Amino acid sequence: MAETLIRRAGTVLTMDDTRQELSRADILIRDGVIAEIGEGLTTTGETVDARGCVVTPGLVNTHHHLYQTLTRAVPGGQDALLFGWLRTLYPIWARFGPEEMRVSALTGLAELALSGCTMSSDHLYLYPNGARLDDTIDAAREIGLRFHPTRGAMSIGESDGGLPPDVLVEAEAAILEDCVRVIDAHHDASEGAMVRVGIAPCSPFSVSRDLMREAALLARDKGVMLHTHLAENDEDIAYSQARFGCRPGQYAEDLGWTGEDVWHAHCVKLDGAEIDLFARSRTGIAHCPCSNCRLGSGIAPVRAMRDAGVKVALGVDGSASNDSGNLVAEARQAMLLQRVARGADAMSAREALEIATRGGADVLGRPDTGRLAPGKRADIAIWDVSGVESAGSWDPAALLLAGPTQVRHLFVEGRQVVRDFHVTTIDLPRVLEDQRRLARRLMT
């Protein structure tokens, strides 16, 4: 029986059903699960001193393309709009293979872990030169983060009027076959699962209507979730209306792409009727504020979505469109962006943190995570608020107003992945050396 005791936390933001905030509380972890929260707890196992720290549930990232960690700040894409940005990067990505996928995933997951993230989704939609979803799953197992990889896909290449070059698209039958393979090999439906696989055609403009429909049928047959990009910017809406004769919400609904087993990235341009549809159908959203700013896509109507009852989560999006992958900084950006649109009372620091923790867990169908309560998985972030970023703060628990952007300690399923600001589970300097070597190769 493995036990760890987190002792005398300054404040615990539980994000439980009553949003309790506890002072000087202890958290006892036993076999990967939170056994008890209270004062004066004891253990014969390891003890972690959390005095002067704020403790939160681990943050949850619901949209990423980890492979892009190798193509940050590419000059030709730095100032381009979405479609132009994609056209710049596709030929570079076409040179990736299994090693690029594994090393970029390790780097991106390490960056997330250091920013307080315990569970991440990933959307891998291109498989050049023998790359497989398994390459990223190996990386997640190595570093020890809870992982929801999605088997993405593109099937309409340039010669069929699509955006990606033909070399990056796959035949639809092969895509569905590989979805079945990775689900059967890696998906774990049980409580506390470390890996759950989803199905995720890249976007309505890179696969056919048939593949969208078949993907939804397969996901329901296998009991896995569905994910894609939707309504990201004005070009996206114009494309939907020109090609499908309807708005993205209608397209999604017609093809079976609404429901509590579906979450869509971005949704910057959803209108009122689409927001109502997503609320009614319990469809989730991965809000990616930095990417939306970076690509000039607009401000997602998160306040209106939350008020309508839509499930909203947070995503850093790919490192090539952010270009950072710091999840707690992303939560701050979400808070700030709603204030740009709606005023200073549009979103509090605590609400944005709730979206980043509990909100993410709910969108990914993981009520066993995202909150600190007995019986929940021990995914825990410990923030040191004694540093210069928090100095003078009257409310250190308002982390997103004046708080650290790196976590001090991080536990996933009770295992310590970050200790004193360092990743413990992998040799990060070695990974970064590999990353530099691979990036140099891609630049030539």
Q: Which residues lie near Zn ion (CB under 5 A)?
A: 317
CB of 201 to Zn ion, least distance (A): 13
- Residue 263: strand pairing partners: 227, 284
CB of 282 to Zn ion, least distance (A): 22
CB of 68 to Zn ion, least distance (A): 9
The answer to whether 442 and 90 are in contact (CB under 8 A) is no
Of 253 and 317, which CB lies nearer to Zn ion in the complex structure?
317
CB of 183 to Zn ion, least distance (A): 21
Of 317 and 323, which CB lies nearer to Zn ion in the complex structure?
317
CB of 270 to Zn ion, least distance (A): 16
Of 65 and 377, which CB lies nearer to Zn ion in the complex structure?
65
Please state, in angstroms and rounded to a whole number, the distance separating the CA atoms of residues 114 and 145.
Answer: 11
Q: At 203, phi and psi to the nearest 5?
A: -170, 165
CB of 206 to Zn ion, least distance (A): 12
Q: What is the 3-state secondary structure (H, E, C) of the chain?
A: CCEEEEEEEEEEECCCCCCCEEEEEEEEEECCEEEEEECCCCCCCEEEECCCEEEEECEEECCCCHHHHHCCCCHHHCCCCHHHHHHHHHHHHCCCCHHHHHHHHHHHHHHHHHCCEEEEEEEECCCHHHCCHHHHHHHHHHHCCEEEEEEEECCCCHHHCCCCCHHHCCCHHHHHHHHHHHHHHHCCCCCCCCECCEEEECCCCCCCHHHHHHHHHHHHHHCCEEEEEECCCHHHHHHHHHHHCCCHHHHHHHCCCCCCCEEEEECCCCCHHHHHHHHHHCCEEEECHHHHHHCCCCCCCHHHHHHHCCEEEECCCCHHHCCCCCHHHHHHHHHHHHHHHHCCCCCCHHHHHHHHHHHHHHHCCCCCCCCCCCCCECCEEEEECCCCCCCCCCCCCCCCCCCCCCCCEEEECCEEEEECCEECCCCHHHHHHHHHHHHHHHHC
Nearest 5°: the CA angle 366, 212, 103 is 60
Of 236 and 317, which CB lies nearer to Zn ion in the complex structure?
317
Of 211 and 428, which CB lies nearer to Zn ion in the complex structure?
211
CB of 439 to Zn ion, least distance (A): 20
CB of 96 to Zn ion, least distance (A): 16
Please state, in angstroms and rounded to a whole number, the distance separating the CA atoms of residues 143 and 163.
Answer: 34
CB of 411 to Zn ion, least distance (A): 28
CB of 265 to Zn ion, least distance (A): 5
CB of 226 to Zn ion, least distance (A): 15
The answer to whether 96 and 125 are in contact (CB under 8 A) is no
With CB atoms as reference, the residue minimizing the distance to Zn ion is 317
Of 3 and 235, which CB lies nearer to Zn ion in the complex structure?
235
Of 274 and 317, which CB lies nearer to Zn ion in the complex structure?
317
Of 56 and 333, which CB lies nearer to Zn ion in the complex structure?
333
